[in-house]
Amino acid sequence: MKPAPFDYAAPRTLDEAIDLLGRHGEDARPLAGGQSLMPMLALRLSRPSLLVDLNRVESLSGIRIDDDELRIGAMTRQAEALESAEIRRHVPLLAQALAEVGHPPTRARGTIGGSLAHADPAAELPAVIVALGAKLVIRGATGERVLRAEEFFRGMFETDVKAGELLVEIRIPIQAQGSAFLEIALRKGDFAIVSVAASIALGPDQRCVAATLVLGGVGPMPVRCADSERRLIGHTPDAAAISAAAEAIPIDRVELGSRSASRGYRRRVAPVLVKRALAAAAGAAGAAP
C-alpha cells in the first residue's frame, strides 16, 4: 500500500517545528528516524495531513554531561548513542539495551526520542529509561514540561506528549551502580518477548543500598517491580536474596500474549530472566561471587 496524501515540512529550528505542530494539532505528525512511522503510513494506520520532518533541527541532537546528569537530545541516533563513550561510562545500562535494538541499519536511522515517543511495549528503551530514573523534557507552544519516565508512558503506544508538543531531551541521573539488560526474542534484533533492566548499588559492607528492576514486553508499558527492589535493599545480593526478589515480581501485570509467545510463557520466563539480570547487575556492582 501507499501512504494517504499528506503535506510535508522540514523546519530548521525547534521553534519552527513546534509552531507547525501547534497550528496543525492532531493532523500533524513529527518524523524522526521513521523506523516505526513510515510503515504505519504505508499501511495507512496513521493518516496525518502534515508530516513535520525533524531531521534538520540540529538543536535536537547531541549527548552531553551537565552537572550530575547525562542529557541526550531526542533526535540523537541510536547508533551514535551506542558508540558514545559518555553513555558507556556513565549509564552502561542504556548501552547494554541499545546493543539489542534492531540491527545496524535501523539503529543508524532510529532515534532515542522516536523510540520513546512511539512507546511500543516490546521496545527496549522504555523499560531502560524507567529503570534509569530518567526525566523527559517536553516542549510546546505554551512552554516546557519535565516528566519522570514513569509519568511519561500512559499505555500501549501512548505517552503524555500532547498534540502540538515534542519530546526534546532525555535527562538521566549519573549514579554508581552495577547494571544488566537481558531480553528474550525470537531472533537477534527482534522486539523483546520479555526484557529486564536491572541495577544494583552496594555499600562498603557488600549490602545492597539501592536497586531498580523493570520488566519490558510483558504489559502495555514498563512494569516497575518495587516489591522486588525492597527485598534486595539491606541484603547481600546472593542467590537467596535474588531468588526472593524474583519471586516478588508482580506476575499479574505480565498481561501480554501473542502468537509467538503466550502470556503463560512470558510468566514462566520473566522470573528466570530476572534472576539472571540481577545476578549480572550484582556482579557488575562488585558483589563477591
| CATH number for the domain that contains residue 11 | 3.30.43.10
What would the grid cell of residue 203 be?
A: 555499600
3-state secondary structure of 92: helix
- 91 lies in the same domain as 32: no
126 SS3 class? helix
What domain count does the chain have?
3
- Per DSSP (E only), the strands in the chain are 7-9, 28-31, 50-53, 63-66, 69-73, 135-140, 143-148, 153-155, 158-159, 166-173, 178-184, 194-202, 208-216, 223-224
Domain boundary pick from 113, 148, 173: 173
Clarify whether residues 193 and 166 are in a common domain.
no
Q: Where does a domain end: 119, 145, 173?
A: 173
2, part of any domain: no
Average pLDDT over residues 121-127: 95
pTM of the predicted model, to two decimals? 0.94
My answer on whether 41 and 115 are in the same domain is no
Look at 172 and 188; give whichever has higher pLDDT. 172
What CATH number has the domain bearing residue 206? 3.30.390.50
Please compute the mean of the pLDDT values over residues 108-127 and round it to a whole number: 95
Which residue range is the domain that position 28 belongs to?
Answer: 7-52
Residue 185 within any structural domain of the chain: yes
Is 1 part of any domain?
A: no
Q: What is the pLDDT of residues 231-256, one digit of tens each?
A: 999 999 999 999 999 999 999 999 98
Tell which wins on pLDDT, 1 or 22. Answer: 22
Shared domain for 198 and 278, answered yes or no, is yes
Which of 31-40, 72-81, 124-133, 169-178 comes out lowest in average pLDDT? 31-40
Per-residue pLDDT averaged across 63-74, rounded? 95
22 and 82 assigned to the same domain: no
Same domain for 118 and 154? yes
Q: What is the pLDDT at residue 216?
A: 97
Residue from 228, 190, 195 nearest 211 by CA: 228
Residue 127 lies inside a defined structural domain of this protein: yes
